[in-house]
Amino acid sequence: MDDRHAAARTGPEEAVQAYLKQIATIPLLTAAEEVHLGTIVRRWRLAATPTAAEVRSGRRALDRMVRANLRLVVSVCKHEARQPAGVDLLDLIQVGNIGLIRAVERFDPTRGYRFSTYAYWWIRQAVRRGQSELGQVLRVPESIRKLARDVQTLRQNDPDRSLEALARQLGAPPSRLAYVLEVSESARVISLDQSTGSEEEGALVDRLSDGRVPRVHDDYSWLHQGLALLPDQARRVLALRYGGDGLRSLSQVAERMGLTKSTVQGLEQRALRDLRGSLHPNLRRLMRDSLSA
């Protein structure tokens, strides 16, 4: 959606209004049209070997149903929005649109209910999951987040209960619960404007400062330390991909290094995984040292 991205440069509110204005012109579907288009999509999706004509008609019908229900996604997003840190409404709408697409793909018109009734559940689930994931600096799988919530709920009712007792009740090994709680805590977002407890102490950001005027290299010293632990080839891949003024594609990096695209992609994925693994402990240590200083 080019109009959406162009509007986004003028500000979030203007971008939302431009998007709403754009989708408001799309005609809604009648109940008969929903059944007709849903039947075409279902025939295409269930066909073991769909013909070219079935693929074309199925994709057109899917696109028509999705476009006609974009306003439903906006309605769900506004109803469910809890404004987690860093989550933009347009980002949440895009997540909801993915739920809408899944609903169209799974809709069975023979069951007799309206599509909006069926799609609401899929959109709401996508939006709620998106709120949790988009509001985190680090993406944590849903299974881990759910288990962490279960542990926290049980501890609220009985704060003195041991980890072993919680593990028996939840049917999970104590080591897994310890890992889940550590991951959940590491991914928690803390505002630097958060008060430290009194007006004299000020905000958290005031305690993190050491009084020096920061330089660019100081801000990213932790990153350079992590990069130094990577193999030479992996460092070069990251430098070519993300260094300089513009991003290079995998194909461009592969040609530059004399490697295949898949090899470069594998090197990049392993490098980023290793980099995250080395940075998280360092960042926690730096935060702890700053707070204790």
10 Å CB burial of residue 193 (0-12, 13-18, 19+) is: exposed
Closest CA to 42 of 17, 70, 61: 61
| 55/190: higher pLDDT | 55
What CATH number is attached to the domain comprising 275?
Answer: 1.10.10.10
Residue type for 188, please? Answer: R
pLDDT of residue 108: 92
100 close to 106: Cβ distance less than 8 angstroms: no
- Alpha carbon 80 to its chain centroid, in Å, reads 16
pLDDT of residue 133: 63
Q: Which of 106, 134, 162 is the last residue of a domain?
A: 134
Examine the domain organization and report whether 128 and 148 are in the same domain: no
205 occurs within a structural domain: no
Q: What is the 3-state secondary structure (H, E, C) of the chain?
A: CHHHHHHHCCCHHHHHHHHHHHHCCCCCCCHHHHHHHHHHHHHHHHCCCCCHHHHHHHHHHHHHHHHHCHHHHHHHHHHHCCCCCCCCHHHHHHHHHHHHHHHHHHCCHHHCCCHHHHHHHHHHHHHHHHHHHHCCCCCCCHHHHHHHHHHHHHHHHCCCCCHHHHHHHHCCCHHHHHHHHHHHHHCCCCCCCCECCCCCCCEHHHHHCCCCCCCHHHHCHHHHHHHHCCCHHHHHHHHHHHCCCCCCCHHHHHHHHCCCHHHHHHHHHHHHHHHHHHHHHHHHHHHHHHHHC
Distance in angstroms (rounded) separating the CA atoms of residues 202 and 212:
18
Residue with tokens 């980023």: 272
Examine the domain organization and report whether 21 and 56 are in the same domain: yes
221-251, pLDDT tens digit by residue?
667 777 778 888 888 888 888 776 566 788 8
What CATH number is attached to the domain comprising 16?
Answer: 1.20.120.1810
In this structure, of 157-171, 211-225, 274-288, the range with the lowest mean pLDDT score is 211-225
pLDDT of residue 207: 53
Examine the domain organization and report whether 117 and 7 are in the same domain: yes
Examine the domain organization and report whether 115 and 30 are in the same domain: yes
103 close to 42: Cβ distance less than 8 angstroms: no
Q: Which long-range contacts (CB under 8 A, 24 or more apart) does 207-211 make?
A: 207/290, 207/291, 208/290, 208/291, 210/290, 210/293
Examine the domain organization and report whether 122 and 157 are in the same domain: no
Our count of domains for the chain comes to 3
204 occurs within a structural domain: no
Domain that holds residue 39: 2-134
Distance in angstroms (rounded) separating the CA atoms of residues 231 and 19:
45
Q: Give pTM, 2 decimals.
A: 0.47
pLDDT of residue 280: 60
100-158, pLDDT tens digit by residue?
999 999 999 998 889 999 999 999 988 887 776 665 544 556 677 777 778 777 777 77
85 occurs within a structural domain: yes
Distance in angstroms (rounded) separating the CA atoms of residues 197 and 200:
9
Residue type for 237, please? Answer: V
| 144/213: higher pLDDT | 144
1-22, pLDDT tens digit by residue?
444 444 444 456 777 888 889 8
In this structure, of 44-48, 124-128, 245-249, 280-284, the range with the lowest mean pLDDT score is 280-284
